[in-house]
Structure 1
Amino acid sequence: MRWIMILLLLVLAGLQYRLWFGSGSWEQIVYLQREIEQQKLVNQGLSDRNAILENEVRDLKNGMGSIEERARSELGLIKDGETFYLLVDEDKQP
């Protein structure tokens, strides 16, 4: 009877060790849940960025106005018949 009790205590100790420190332990589960939450935040940020880019692509495909606006701001587009004025702030001159 005494050997059975010792054997059962050893089995219980082994199971408790695995529960608290082994693979699939509570600590590992909590760590993985934290990683999931962090990844959800990263995914949300990427989804927002993708939505912005998708809207920009749609505007570029459908409207000439957005293409013209981008060409004016980034490439300095000036149409025929337009006059370009460059305003210089004298206080900021070196």
Structure 2
Amino acid sequence: MRIVPIVFAVLALLVQAELWFGKGGVPHVMALKAELAEQKASNERLREGNGRLAAEVADLKDGLEMVEEKARLELGMIKPDETLVVVSGAR
């Protein structure tokens, strides 16, 4: 009769060991939660970037203002009747 409680105690210890140290144990779950949080943050950053790019595409499709601004800033282009003035920073 004394062996039954010992067997149950050993089985309970095995279940607890699997819970704490096994493949689906607490450390593994915590690592997965950290990875999930990191992935969610990355997804949010990418979602914001996609929103900015979608707005830029809409601007490029709708009007020439964005095209003109890009040409001025990135290519240094000016209109035929304009004079380019470059202001240097304070010394």
With normalisation by structure 1, the TM-score equals 0.79
Query: What is the alpha-carbon distance in structure 2 between the residues aligned to residue 59 and residue 43 of structure 1?
Result: 24
Identity of aligned residues (%): 37
Alpha carbon RMSD of aligned pairs, Å? 1.9
Cα deviation code 1:13-69 (max 9, x no counterpart): 111100111121122222222221222111111111110011011101111111011
Q: Which residue of 1 aligns with 2:10?
A: 10
Query: What is the alpha-carbon distance in structure 2 between the residues aligned to residue 60 and residue 87 of structure 1?
Result: 27
Query: What is the alpha-carbon distance in structure 2 between the residues aligned to residue 6 and residue 76 of structure 1?
Result: 84
The letter of the residue matching 2:43 is N
Q: Which runs of 4+ in 1 moved over 2 A?
A: 2-6, 83-89
Q: Which residue of 2 aligns with 1:50?
A: 50
What pairs up with 1:1-94 in 2 under 5 angstroms?
1-80=1-80, 82-87=81-86, 89=88
With normalisation by structure 2, the TM-score equals 0.81
Structure 2: tracts of 5 or more residues without a match: none
Structure 1: tracts of 5 or more residues without a match: none
Q: 1:87 to 1:7 in 2, by over 3 A?
A: closer
- Equivalent pairs counted in the alignment come to 90
Query: What is the alpha-carbon distance in structure 1 between the residues aligned to residue 87 and residue 38 of structure 2?
Result: 48
